[in-house]
Amino acid sequence: MIGRKTFPRGGVHPYERKSLSEHKRIWNAAVPSECIVPLQQHIGKPAEAQVGPGDEVREGRLIGKASGFVSASVHSPIPGVVRELREVYLANGLATTAVVIDLQGEFDRLGKQQMAAEWRDRDVKSLLTSIRKNGVVGMGGATFPTHVKYTLPQGKTCDWMILNGVECEPYLTADHRLMLEMTDQVIEGLEIAARILDVEHVAIGIEENKPDVIEEIRSRVKERRLDFRVVILETKYPQGGEKQLIKAITDREVPSGGLPIDVGCMVSNAGTLNAVYEAVVFDKPLMERVVSVTGGAVREPGNLKARIGTTFGELIEECGGLAEIPQKVVAGGPMTGFAVYDLDMPLIKGTSGILALTAREVNEAPRTPCINCGRCIAACPMGLQPTALFKYIDHEEYEPARALGLSDCIECGACSYVCPAHIPLVQGMRIGKRIARKKG
Ligand code: SF4
Ligand code: SF4
């Protein structure tokens, strides 16, 4: 057991609001009568449709096949008949084709006993195949295909596998509940990842604001006689950023433009490791996830296990509906999530939260000129100068922005959070990074 740790630079302490849902047990959302299942729910190439209108599908059938090295397969969350393939917009503004399925017929898995398969005598290749075949991606929002992430590039080795149990975004409690209620599954998912990567050290990083999780994980790790370190982390945003977490736990610094694997580390969150466990032990495709549906405008905030393709509106209804008209609905957390304007948008693999926020919670104010207070610089965990970067981006001067480290921005939103002038700094960084990338 190592003491309370954190990252050294910047960081903020946003109002948490986790109490709205952190003590609510996960419950199963009603199965929707239709599922809207996008073929692009991950970073990389979209999956290729394997079905067309009129096709019958079983629960868990492959409906979109991974179409390149960085891609992930997509499966039917319900049994039914494909009504159509149509274009939908995701919360991040991306347009993609979705398979729309009308519920019909028998479930193959739901309500049925599943047989656990032994994995310890299987080789690494076959474990990776199970993860790839079942469409597992990073479920904290990054959505990078997990089988690609766990396949080490030539010449690289990994000696640390880290469970990111931080969930530092305000409001979100899905991983908190998962670690508390499905502790063994998450830990076994971590064992599988550690075995694939053949690591020397395994660590579980948890913020100190989750004492119940710390206790439960410690006790299960001890009972299972695992040599896993439970690391208590200071409650500070963005403690769950991969680079910040690695620094806090291993004291290694991921280089500018680099990846965790460049310093021998791999990080996955609880939702992803639970999906890894289910893919390997039950050969179960990633077709449902736990999502926090919360915010002051939701009547009964909570954590739901819901089928991919269920609409945001249905999930909010499941939580008693709206108590008032929200000022803003956000997919993901309030710091890094995306505002959405259509409650018919479907839940996807990377949706960790659906927040319906009141005007008081959003606390919007008009933008005023920068007063050069330097708060954004003090808050930035990457040691950047958000104010200068924003000015360059505002003037479409991408080269100097790049020279000042724009690509190192992790889009955490800490700068926007502290800015007294309400300058949309993180939105500027996002757009600036996208354009700078396009310009090569
Ligand atoms: S969004 Fe980027 S610039 Fe702003 S605090 Fe985070 S890392 Fe720094
Ligand atoms: S926090 Fe806002 S007002 Fe202060 S220096 Fe940064 S951009 Fe300017």
The answer on pLDDT for 1 being more than 60 is no
Among protein residues, the one whose CA lies closest to atom 8 of ligand 2: 370
Closest ligand 1 atom, CA of 376? 5
The dihedral through the CA atoms of 349, 353, 359, 362 has a sign that is: negative
Reply yes or no on whether the pLDDT at 359 is more than 80.
Answer: yes
Q: State in Å: Cα 333 to ligand 2 middle.
A: 23
pTM above 0.75, yes or no: yes
Contact 280, 55 (CB under 8 A): no
Instruction: Tell me the per-residue pLDDT of 13-46, one tens digit each, with 9 for 90 and over.
Output: 999 999 999 999 999 999 999 999 999 999 999 9
- Using alpha carbons, list the distances in angstroms from residue 320 to 154, 244, 303, 316, 332: 51, 37, 13, 7, 20
Q: Does ligand 2 come within 6 angstroms of the Cβ of 423? A: yes
Residue 191 CB contacts under 8 Å (≥ 6 apart), including other chains: 226
Residue 426 Cβ contacting ligand 1 at under 6 Å: yes
% of the chain residues with pLDDT over 90: 93
pLDDT tens readout for residues 60-73:
999 999 998 999 99
- Output the residue whose Cα is nearest ligand 1's atom 1: 411
Q: What atom in ligand 2 is closest to the CA of residue 374?
A: 5
Residue 54, pLDDT > 70, answer yes
The arrangement of strands across the sheet holding 288-294 comes to 27-28, 302-307, 288-294, 353-357, 328-331, 338-340
Residue nearest to atom 2 of ligand 1 (CA): 409
Closest-lying ligand 2 atom to the alpha carbon of residue 418: 1
| Interval between CA 434 and ligand 2 midpoint (Å) | 22
Q: Tell me the mean pLDDT in the region 343-351.
A: 97
For residue 3, name the pLDDT band (cuts at 50, 70, 90): low
CATH number of the 2-22+115-281 domain: 3.40.50.11540
| Ligand 2 probe mutation, 12, 372, 393, most atoms within 8 A of CB | 372
pLDDT given at position 384: 97
Residue range 165-179, pLDDT digits in tens: 999 999 999 999 999
Residue 272 clears pLDDT 90, i.e. is over it: yes
Within the chain, all domains assigned CATH 3.40.50.11540 are found at 2-22+115-281
pLDDT band, residue 110 (cuts 50/70/90):
confident
7: left (phi over 0), alpha (psi -120 to 50) or beta: beta
- Ligand 2 centroid from CA 363, angstroms: 18
Measured CA to CA in angstroms, residue 218 lies from 23, 69, 400 at distances of: 19, 37, 48
pLDDT at 2: 47
Q: Which ligand 2 atom is nearest residue 371's CA?
A: 3
Q: Quote the strand ranges of 26-94, DSSP E.
A: 27-28, 34-38, 48-49, 56-57, 62-65, 74-75, 80-89
| Mean pLDDT in residue range 313-325 | 98
